[in-house]
Amino acid sequence: MNVAIVGVTGYSGTVLYSLLANHPEIEKINLYGHTDEGENGTVRYLDELLPQFHGEHVAIQAFDPAQIMADNQAVFFATSSGVSSQLAVPFAEAGFPVIDLSGDYRLDAKQYEQWYHKPAATTSALKKAAYSLADFYDTDAKYIANPGCYATATLLGLAPLVQQDLIDPDSIIVDAKSGTSGAGKKLSQITHFTEANDNLQLYKLDTHQHIPEIVQQLQVWNDKVQAIEFNTTLIPVTVGIMATIYAKPNPGQDQASLVKAFETTYADHPFIHVMDGEVPALKDAVGSNNCDLGVKYNPKTNTVMVVSVIDNLMKGAAGQAVQNFNHMFHYNETTGLPKFPAFS
């Protein structure tokens, strides 16, 4: 089948192209821009914009929804927030298969504008979209809102505890850390080498756009959850997220029962690895579509700590997008996805 990518030049788009190029069910990848492609006869090519793709002399075509739908069976939006909310409406209205890596269709219009500070997509288009954490895929929607990277790590770390009502819903604290690629290619002061190198920086305290996304999904699983304490730290690495999650278990829980809840929940999930009493490192997941979960209960403080580790560009973006794509088209969910980390 043929698939389209809108926004290939960002970090997530680059990883997405690499994954799709090696996907056995995909014959051709068509690339489309969303700015000035095709104006005044200008044509840009993938290997010119991204020299690491040697020999991939693929043209970046002008954005044309009708042409995209005619030439492809699905489209991926790997764009910054505020782009697909405006450009993807024709696809949503037509029921054309879309996997959207941006945050534009994860929230309702009011929440989106509050947290993203950009105009939302139309109400009718938003109603056609489904938020899909790929390891809990359960939708017939043709428009998939791919989860954010922090949200993915946090939700996978909390799912068994919240779904099975094992913790005090008011006790959730998340200390999440991410590499610099999570901020995208657009330079900001905190991602400047001089600021990021040899440094740790807390940012977007109580204002990170993934907070409402996380709470929204937790409330789907358990309506007792009202809010979470969620902090983010930029660390001087390129890729990787470590979310350290703390919560107070309900009476009667111990290490064995808590680990059993995780093992039962993720028994048939090939990308989720549960560690009993041990904790993962970033490099246990980087380069793969995996999420490694370390579960440790402290009886002295009655606190369960879950350490959730993912690659933010893989499981947190492009890898999960391909996993959602596999579900949508009824391929094996592991097709075209790396299951082992890449140490470097």
Could you tell me if residue 189 is left (phi over 0), alpha (psi between -120 and 50 degrees) or otherwise beta?
alpha
Listed residue (16, 77, 6, 8) closest to 49, CA to CA:
8
> Does the active-site annotation cover 149?
yes
Q: How far apart are CA 66 and CA 325, in angstroms?
A: 21
Active-site choice (60, 68, 149, 314): 149
149 to each of 57, 225, 328, how far by Cα in Å?
30, 21, 20
Cα–Cα dist 330/131, whole Å: 18
Joined tokens for residue 99: 């996997």
Q: What is the DSSP letter of 86?
A: H
Contact, 299 vs 233, CB < 8 A?
Answer: no
**CA-to-CA separations, 316 to 107, 154, 267, in angstroms, rounded:** 17, 11, 21
Tokens of 45: 């090519």
Whether 298 contacts 279, CB under 8 Å: no
In angstroms, rounded to a whole number, what is the distance separating the alpha carbons of residues 307 and 291? 10
3-state secondary structure of 155: helix
Active-site annotation, residues: 149
